[in-house]
Amino acid sequence: MDKDIFQNIIALIDDLSEKQRDLVRKALDGGDDLERLISIIENPLATKRECFYCKSENVKKWGVSHGLQRFRCFDCGKTFNALTGSPLARLRKKNRWMEMALALREGLSVRKTSTQCEVSVSTAFRWRHRFLKAAAADKPVKLDGIAEADETYILESFKGQRKLPRPARKRGGKAKKRGLSREQIPVLIVRDRNGVVIDAVLRDQSKDSIKSVLSGKLCKDNILCIDGGKALWGFVNEENIPFKLIPPGKHVHEKNPIFHIQNVNGYHQRLKSWLARFHGVSTKYLANYLGWRRIYEKPKAILTQTAWIQVAMGIPNQQLMRT
């Protein structure tokens, strides 16, 4: 662990409540995976006990169900637990969730995840996308300073579907047409120099599609480096965002080491190399895989099993995942 992160953790110990200290002790003492998991899940309610529905603090314990403490709100009358409203709500076999978190950290295939978690392949697949749902939606509010933007393209895939709208391609295959076509799904990557990334699967290659993703994320304080594509060009002009046009060609970044798109192009390469291990990703779930990769790319990311569980629950953890 980074020394500065460890020092920050030590400095925060004095602010822990007695309940939080007990949860930390349980996590440090080890025990079985289920005990560790319960302590991780229930930590947010131990920090601040409030109703999930009306946000009232007039709540009391109301029994235990499926290993989790339930609470009842005496203002709205509803009951809830620490997973209510999260993507993991009502998911079974909690004793295998820590193994699932480990599989996500290691980027295992569905079949290897199935073996590691001792669940069926269909369950491993369903768990993967339940665990990644919150990560896909957790995107930065804005970018700082100089940023780079560029599109990359991923071959459309109907992997896993029983009925295809076209003849099947053998072993993934190739697009029928060279270059850009409807078979290529545009993916926008925008990255600032701090390593913060915004990504999205675009519905098409238009300016309006890019605007729906980046509107409000950039301002006049930013400088956006682009390669001259029509959609990005139209967006920066319409939004009056300062930009630098990067001409095509080799070694352009050496002529101007400040303004370039080398970082975002490197991100494209890492993303596609990482996706290759899955031997094709269904376009239907592509946004989840973008969120998965984005967690790996966070600056000084802490990729522990605990962190993956918190990400899956949708807990804001910018301080945990970044220094």
Q: Is the pLDDT of residue 26 over 80?
A: no
Per-residue pLDDT for 318 more than 50?
no
Contact 277, 112 (CB under 8 A): no
Residue 252 is predicted with a pLDDT of 66
- Residue 153's φ and ψ, nearest 5 degrees, are -130, 135
pLDDT at 2: 65
Residue 246 has pLDDT above 50, yes or no: yes
82 pLDDT exceeds 70? yes
Render pLDDT for 121-156 as a digit per residue (tens, 0 to 9).
999 999 999 999 999 998 888 999 999 999 999 999
pLDDT at 31 over 70: no
DSSP 102-160: HHHHHT--HHHHHHHHTS-HHHHHHHHHHHHHHHHH---S---SEEEEEEEEEE---TT
The closest alpha carbon to 297, from 323, 281, 321, belongs to 321
Residue 9 DSSP code: H
3-state SS assignment for residue 79:
strand
Q: Give the model's pLDDT for residue 301.
A: 78
Mean pLDDT over 108-131 rounds to 96
pLDDT value of residue 12: 74
Q: Judging by beta carbons within 10 Å of its beta carbon (0-12, 13-18, 19+), is residue 117 exposed, middle or buried?
A: buried
pTM summary value: 0.85
The span from the CA of 196 to the CA of 174, in Å, is: 32
pLDDT at 236 over 70: yes
**pLDDT score at 247:** 81
Contact call for residues 302 and 4 (beta carbons, < 8 A) = no
Asked whether the predicted pLDDT for residue 116 surpasses 50, the reply is: yes
